Amino acid sequence: LPDWRTLSLFGVGAVLMRGAGCTVNDMWDRDYDRKVARTASRPLAAGDISTFQSFVFLGGQLSLALCVLLCLNYYSIVLGAASLSLVVTYPLMKRITYWPQLVLGLTFNWGALLGWSAIRGSCEWSVCLPLYLAGVMWTLVYDTIYAHQDKRDDIVIGVKSTALQFKEDTKQWLSGFSLVMLLSLCMTGMNCNQTFPYYSAVAAIGAHLAHQIYTLDIDKPEDCWKKFASNRTVGVMLFTGIVLGNL
């Protein structure tokens, strides 16, 4: 079974660092968010809290996250600290490139590297890199779907995204990302001697993504949100497959 102390640390750390990323994002985008119907009610955009208050809140998130990081080994502390530059800068990417979802993937999946180093004291790159790549591809899938909700507003205000880049070819791109994700998960499993339950979970994830992409309507924001949110099932299936595979 997994080490519950480490699982708890990573659970808390994930909430804090993803939360910090969202706080930074809202701080960078407060002027943009006011112009988008779906995000106009966010606290910073709506003026419910000040920029100073958001800095204080961000400081609290990062301070607690540092406490979690200091519970890990030295290698993991350095590796975890290295992700901070990505957390701070990824919200800017939507102003520069049509691929901000790629930078988001590089940011949000850092735990694929950190989790291994927290247990082993270093990274086994033959396992960690394909797992990291799988996470990046997964983020490209769900966040491209997410971006289709706001594409009309994004065109008006000048924000870039993969949704605007791919347009009507979105499903082909999502299928390609999903294929790379599944192959990377299989490579990860082979390089750390995973067993049948793990590969069964990967197959179930493949079926879930295929159905998600096939039934997606990129022109209906409510359907995009539904498909985006269904990716929590992917995470649950992969976690369950890893645990059962190890057992």
pLDDT tens for each residue of 48-69: 999 899 999 999 999 999 999 9
Whether 76 is in a domain gets the answer no
Task: Summarize the confidence of residues 162-166 as an average pLDDT.
Answer: 95
Whether 78 is in a domain gets the answer no
Please indicate, yes or no, whether residues 13 and 58 belong to a single structural domain of this protein.
yes
Whether 79 is in a domain gets the answer no
- The closest of 140, 112, 144, 143 to 128, measured between CA atoms, is 112
Tell me the C-alpha to C-alpha distance, in Å, between residue 156 and each of 32, 33, 35, 42, 165. Answer: 10, 12, 9, 19, 15
Whether 225 is in a domain gets the answer yes
Task: Summarize the confidence of residues 142-168 as an average pLDDT.
Answer: 91
Radius of gyration from C-alpha coordinates of the chain: 19
Pairwise CA distance, residues 130 & 189, whole Å: 9
CB atoms within 10 A of CB 18: 16
Please indicate, yes or no, whether residues 49 and 91 belong to a single structural domain of this protein.
no
Task: Summarize the confidence of residues 178-195 as an average pLDDT.
Answer: 97
Is residue 37 scored above 80 in pLDDT?
no
Is residue 22 scored above 90 in pLDDT?
no
Percent of the chain having pLDDT more than 90? 73
Six-digit token string for 194: 């995973």
Please indicate, yes or no, whether residues 183 and 221 belong to a single structural domain of this protein.
yes
Tell me the C-alpha to C-alpha distance, in Å, between residue 225 and each of 27, 56, 198, 212, 221. Answer: 23, 31, 28, 12, 6
CA–CA–CA angle 219, 107, 110 (5° rounding): 125
- pLDDT, residue 36, reads 80
Task: Summarize the confidence of residues 134-158 as an average pLDDT.
Answer: 92
In the chain, the number of structural domains is: 2
Which sign, positive or negative, has the C-alpha torsion 137, 143, 148, 154? Answer: negative
- pLDDT, residue 157, reads 83
The overall average pLDDT reported for the chain is: 92
- pLDDT, residue 59, reads 95
Q: At 113, which amino acid appears?
A: L
Please indicate, yes or no, whether residues 136 and 202 belong to a single structural domain of this protein.
yes
Six-digit token string for 246: 């190890």
Query: pLDDT tens digit string along 92-135?
Result: 898 899 999 999 999 989 989 999 999 999 999 999 999 999 99
Q: Which of 71, 101, 128 is the last residue of a domain?
A: 71
Residue 187 CA, chain-centre distance (Å), reads 20
Q: At 40, is the pLDDT very low, low, confident or very high (cuts 50, 70, 90)?
A: confident
Percent of the chain having pLDDT more than 70? 100
Q: Which domain holds residue 125?
A: 84-245
